[in-house]
Structure 1
Amino acid sequence: MKAGALSCALAPDIGGSILSFDRDGVALLRRAPQDSHDPLDMASFPLVPYANRIAHGRYSVDGQSYQLPLNFGDHPHSIHGFGWQRPWHVLEQSGHNVRLEQTHDGDAGWPWAWRAQQHVRLGEDALDVTLLVQNLGDSAMPCGLGFHPYFALDGDTMLRFHADTLWLSSPDMLPEREVSADALGDWSQGARVTGDSLIDNVHGGWDHVALVDRGDGIRLTLTAQGADWLHVFRPPAGDFFCLEPVSHMPDAINRPVGMAMLAPGATQSLSMMVAIREI
């Protein structure tokens, strides 16, 4: 897709991922390597029917216990749902709009059937993506959604957003302790993103806006609806970082905060927009 100076390429068969999002040939999100078929190499991918981690892939609903596959190598938890590891199908396509769909019939690990759709729209100054999931089963389904965009990073990139709290993580990357939102970076005032330590933490009470000011004078404004949590992932000394708007904290299904329960036939949605302007 192309609109003015912006262009966006999709890979429906690679987890419904975004391959690239550029402005005049300059990467705004990290570009996927040529010929890669790994969703983790993409510019962004959807999180459905849950976001981030479920501890050891185990959870219970209405007294019934379930075991999800551990889907991330030797990592001890199930992560990011499974929509990102299965192909999506193109329902509609026009010059600036694409609609993708994926269905799940229910299985031992996630017995509820559902239908998910992504609506991807490219304008001359923004990329807008909406993710929807509908419960096709006959009982209430736990449901969580999110996006996993990888922002291109240079040494001058600044990040600013407001949240109420931050969860520090255990060694196996589960939320362990709630602290001040700026404990790992002065994000509320704006701070440089680069660093030598790993950040892989979720922020609660996010106000749904994050500003990314790049060294080349471009500001990216991430806004999201249906996402009260923002997960920040910054590998040490990397060339990207992730701002993941999500509907729940990691392992919420096993914690008092819980996940949304979607009634039969009901739909849940989450949208993300990345707007671009010069500063």
Structure 2
Amino acid sequence: MSNTAHPIVWLRHAGQHLGLVPSLGGSVAAWQIDQPSAPQGRLDLWRPWDVRTPDLYQLASFAMVPWSNRISGGGFEHAGRFHPMQPNRAGEPYPIHGDGWLQPWALSQPAPDTLEMTLHSRGFQGNPYDYEAVQTFRLVDGGLDQEVRLRHRGAAPLPYGIGLHPWFPRTPKTRITAPVQGVWLSGQDPLPVGHTAQFPEGWDLNQGISAHGTLIDNGYTGWGGQARIEWPEHGLALTAQMPDFDADGGSANHYCLIYRPPQGPAFCFEPITQPIDAFHLPGRPGLRVLSSGETLVMRVSWRFAALARG
């Protein structure tokens, strides 16, 4: 893979290949493992970038900072002041996924098995956020340790959030399982209109759901900080684990999102710190108000292993 406008920087370790694209939103181009039976001898754990399109939705993954998903109402109010926010993606009526994915990041390599990308953002497109973000990717035997760290640099406190937006390839038998307690339902657009612990048919992650089916674009509450994706055709499973789960408040303070489009080669499982449009939900669930110099961190340990044969 190569792209002159947005070059890929590769990290290779323990039979894995991780490609980063700092200039294109600090995104991931591919995460692959060696598998002789797969095409070109590699298997994609995240859907790979085609190297051509600059559309971030076609990348393998990107970080959502300094908030995740959508903000309605033209902005948000905090401490008695309204902060206007502009839509930031063609076809979207609301600002979505923060602004980090829309800016170039700086790359460094602090260790042979580690790459970091750093962003200093201040008032991007007129929004109120002034922050530093650092993404750290460390390849280990059997997986990837991923961290996103935000530090607020503005004078006045503001609410923050973090999310990860990986795309997973889906085979006909792909399934996703995760402990959750409820889900936010939406109306004609993805904004939440009500919360329920009674899952619609085919939505209960506790029981495991197919990666195929009708549209899901919804946030789940009470996430247990772990998830499992299975590809029976490849004899492989990928798990996600939040190492800071208990210290960060447990299931009461963790959320995840499923984006399952009816068509296409991929779906999303997104660890997030707050539900969709949390800025306008009662109590602003999951948002963390940071004063100058304070930080917010998300860590995810991804591990792959062979599926046990029944």
Give the TM-score normalised by structure 1: 0.95
User: 1:14: which partner in 2?
Assistant: 24
Report SS of the residue matched to 1:187.
coil
Distance 2:81 2:282 in 1: 17
- Which residue, out of 167, 187, 192, partners 1:150? 167
CA contact (8 A) 1:72 1:79 kept: yes
CA contact (8 A) 1:56 1:78 kept: no
In the alignment, structure 1 segments of 5+ residues that lack a partner are none
Q: Mean Cα displacement is larger for which, 54-63 or 147-156?
A: 54-63
User: 2:283: which partner in 1?
Assistant: 257
State yes or no: 1:244 paired with 2:244: no
Structure 2 letter corresponding to 1:60: E
State yes or no: 1:273 paired with 2:301: yes
User: 2:211: which partner in 1?
Assistant: 193
Cα displacement (A) at 1:15? 0.7
Distance 2:132 2:192 in 1: 29
Question: Cα 1:108–1:235, aligned 2, differ >3 Å: closer, same or farther?
Answer: closer
Structure 1 letter corresponding to 2:50: P
Cα displacement (A) at 1:191? 2.6
CA contact (8 A) 2:23 2:105 kept: yes
Structure 2 letter corresponding to 1:260: R
User: 2:235: which partner in 1?
Assistant: 217
In the alignment, structure 2 segments of 5+ residues that lack a partner are 1-10, 35-41
State yes or no: 1:66 paired with 2:76: no
In the alignment of these two chains, the number of paired residues is: 278
Question: Cα 1:181–1:160, aligned 2, differ >3 Å: closer, same or farther?
Answer: farther
Distance 1:188 1:138 in 2: 42
Identity %: 28
User: 1:175: which partner in 2?
Assistant: 192
Distance 2:187 2:209 in 1: 24
Give the TM-score normalised by structure 2: 0.85
Structure 2 letter corresponding to 1:116: A
Cα displacement (A) at 1:107? 5.5
Q: Which has the higher strand share?
A: 1
Question: Cα 1:68–1:142, aligned 2, differ >3 Å: closer, same or farther?
Answer: same
Distance 2:194 2:52 in 1: 41
Structure 2 letter corresponding to 1:200: D
Structure 2 letter corresponding to 1:265: G
